[in-house]
Structure 1
Amino acid sequence: MHASAQMSARLDRLAFDSPEYKKAFGTFLKSTDQKKKAIAWLRGQLASMPEREVFLDVGAGSGVITGALAEMFRTTIALEPNRDLRRELERNCPNASVLRETIGGAPLGPAIADFVLCCHVFYYIDRADRLPILRRLLGWVRPGGMLVVVLQSPRSQCSNFLRSFGGSPEDVSELRDSLRREAEINFESTLTTRESHIDAASFEDACAIAQVVLSYGIPDHLEMPTLDELRTLLDENFRQPGGGYRISCNQDFLCLRPR
């Protein structure tokens, strides 16, 4: 393809379970400190918990965070419906009980865990299902325990990048507020934002990361941007003097404790 035609071509919208998404997501993971920052913050919170018997990681992915926190608990249960990710999870967390079901289909009873983690999962859940899913997650928490839901902060450069192409960033505080309006559910909550960054070494890496962010962040009725549009936005806003691109992708940690 001629260079000018290539730059006018639109990015492909990637399906979550496709090999292309897996490859692009791998580029995102190697380019960000989100997991490292999340592990450090979560370990700090867990250190003060009075009981650390059972840890339930919902949407555990490849198990990097799961494994880093599992050593703080006697028992670890991990949910991961994606087959490829589940294989990595089983390798990384050989002592965890790994379930293949989704949140809605998991054969788990109420109040089974001292700590429930749901990290960067709600993007992939239909909006109509999010409140029932959040209720179910909170129902798995034992008295004195906590649920932590992690999403990208809507007040970061990555979220502004998404808005530039018509996307609407998720806001975990909206989930909290929807749950709070349900009178029969009583809980305490805190919301903490921690700084994280994406450091893409090249435009090719930045393009792959953009595909991950935009594929789930732009409504289906909107077109993905062209390579030229993407390059213009990245160069004008995120290009670093020494090369590469740096974008803040801060994380919001919503802690819910049932009363």
Structure 2
Amino acid sequence: MEAGTAEPGPVRVLDVSGAAYRRAFELFLAGTDEKPRTHARLDQVVAGLEHRRMLLDVGAGEGRTTAHLGRHFERTVAVEPSAAMRERLRLACPDALVLPEPIDEAQPPGPADLVHLSHVLYYVPEEDWLRTVGTVLGWAAPGGTLLVMLQNPDSPCMRMAEHFTGVRYDLRPLADRLREREPAHEYALETLDLRYRADRLDEAVDVAEFMVNVADLATMDPRPDRAELTDYVRCHFARPDGSFVIGHTQDMLTVRRARPAG
């Protein structure tokens, strides 16, 4: 039996401050093309901005993307409620203003030319998405841009999460509701094709466990079995060369805020 692939018991709920989360996250970053591909696309968005006075990264996590984007702006502000993530965020972005409050309580110091909301809506009840994104959009300056990133609902990663948890995220209905409510803004929804690759099954399973750690996992009884997750990885993601590839296509919703009439 390959180490770490068929440990008895359920899929673990990974605490962001714990060693298991850190290991899985580092494995994911080491094997995915996400950062170089998304950063290149974000650079294109930044190049099209009229102003680069302030970046607001909402749910900045440990700050790798915040630091990448922040070099283009005069000022960086980050919203990050997790204390464990804030420790790393401050190391990555020592000059940033870090707000520890959740979105509903945060008070950014002014309008931002770019507001970045990446992979945050997983932790927000879907019935609150419109209100939450409406709040964040309100932090963008007139003519500024909001970017919302989320897993594509048809990606192999999302199909796996749905298989084991029943959870499936989709930005498209939110984009439609935003257009209906605030039609003056400019909207675009695009897809970024991303992949994670591992040479070892145990590493692929640890990353798959990280991927199925949706917000509802902790409340599931029983939780999915880890041996079944291992079998799923073998069945769906194995390649002829012995490697394992998990597609995690992401959607990016771009909203350019309208300027006031007149």
User: Which residue number corresponds to residue 172 of structure 1?
Assistant: 171
CA distance 1:254–1:226, shift in 2 (3 Å): same
1:95-128 CA-partner distances (Å, limit 9, x unpaired): 211111111111226x610110011111011223
Which consecutive residues of structure 2, in runs of 5 or more, have no partner in the other structure? none
CA distance 1:224–1:28, shift in 2 (3 Å): farther
Between the aligned partners of 1:200 and 1:167, the Cα distance in structure 2 is 25
CA distance 1:171–1:222, shift in 2 (3 Å): farther
Q: Do the aligned partners of 2:193 and 2:249 also contact (CA within 8 Å) in 1?
A: yes
CA RMSD of aligned residues (A): 2.2
Shift of 1:151: 0.6
TM-score normalized by structure 2?
0.88
Shift of 1:226: 2.2
Between the aligned partners of 1:53 and 1:13, the Cα distance in structure 2 is 39
1:65 aligned partner, one-letter code: T
User: Which residue number corresponds to residue 136 of structure 1?
Assistant: 135
Between the aligned partners of 1:216 and 1:179, the Cα distance in structure 2 is 24
1:104 aligned partner, one-letter code: D
1:171 aligned partner, one-letter code: D
Shift of 1:185: 6.2
User: Which residue number corresponds to residue 96 of structure 1?
Assistant: 96
Between the aligned partners of 2:112 and 2:129, the Cα distance in structure 1 is 20
Shift of 1:45: 1.4
1:151-208 CA-partner distances (Å, limit 9, x unpaired): 11112111122232242321111221232333x5632200110111011232222222
1:101 aligned partner, one-letter code: E
2:105 aligned partner, one-letter code: G
Between 191-200 and 126-135, report the one with greater CA deviation. Answer: 126-135
Between the aligned partners of 1:218 and 1:243, the Cα distance in structure 2 is 32
Between the aligned partners of 1:235 and 1:20, the Cα distance in structure 2 is 21
Q: Do the aligned partners of 2:90 and 2:96 also contact (CA within 8 Å) in 1?
A: yes
User: Which residue number corresponds to residue 113 of structure 2?
Assistant: 114
Alignment of 1:11-90 (within 5 A): 11-16=11-16, 18-90=18-90
Q: Do the aligned partners of 2:10 and 2:223 also contact (CA within 8 Å) in 1?
A: yes
Shift of 1:8: 5.4
Between the aligned partners of 1:124 and 1:217, the Cα distance in structure 2 is 6
Between the aligned partners of 1:258 and 1:175, the Cα distance in structure 2 is 16
Shift of 1:7: 5.4
Between the aligned partners of 1:19 and 1:216, the Cα distance in structure 2 is 18
Shift of 1:19: 4.3
Between the aligned partners of 1:22 and 1:89, the Cα distance in structure 2 is 14
Shift of 1:16: 4.7
User: Which residue number corresponds to residue 246 of structure 2?
Assistant: 247
User: Which residue number corresponds to residue 211 of structure 1?
Assistant: 209
Between the aligned partners of 1:27 and 1:46, the Cα distance in structure 2 is 29
**How many residue pairs are counted as aligned between the two chains?**
253
Between the aligned partners of 1:153 and 1:40, the Cα distance in structure 2 is 19
**What SS does the corresponding residue of 1:165 show, helix, strand or coil?**
helix
**What SS does the corresponding residue of 1:215 show, helix, strand or coil?**
coil
Between the aligned partners of 2:28 and 2:166, the Cα distance in structure 1 is 19
User: Which residue number corresponds to residue 147 of structure 1?
Assistant: 146
Which consecutive residues of structure 1, in runs of 5 or more, have no partner in the other structure? none
User: Which residue number corresponds to residue 230 of structure 1?
Assistant: 229
1:198 and 2:196 correspond: yes
2:47 aligned partner, one-letter code: A
1:33 aligned partner, one-letter code: D
1:241 aligned partner, one-letter code: P
1:123 aligned partner, one-letter code: Y
Between the aligned partners of 2:153 and 2:193, the Cα distance in structure 1 is 12
1:39 aligned partner, one-letter code: H
Q: Do the aligned partners of 2:16 and 2:84 also contact (CA within 8 Å) in 1?
A: no
1:83 aligned partner, one-letter code: A
Between 210-219 and 246-255, report the one with greater CA deviation. Answer: 210-219
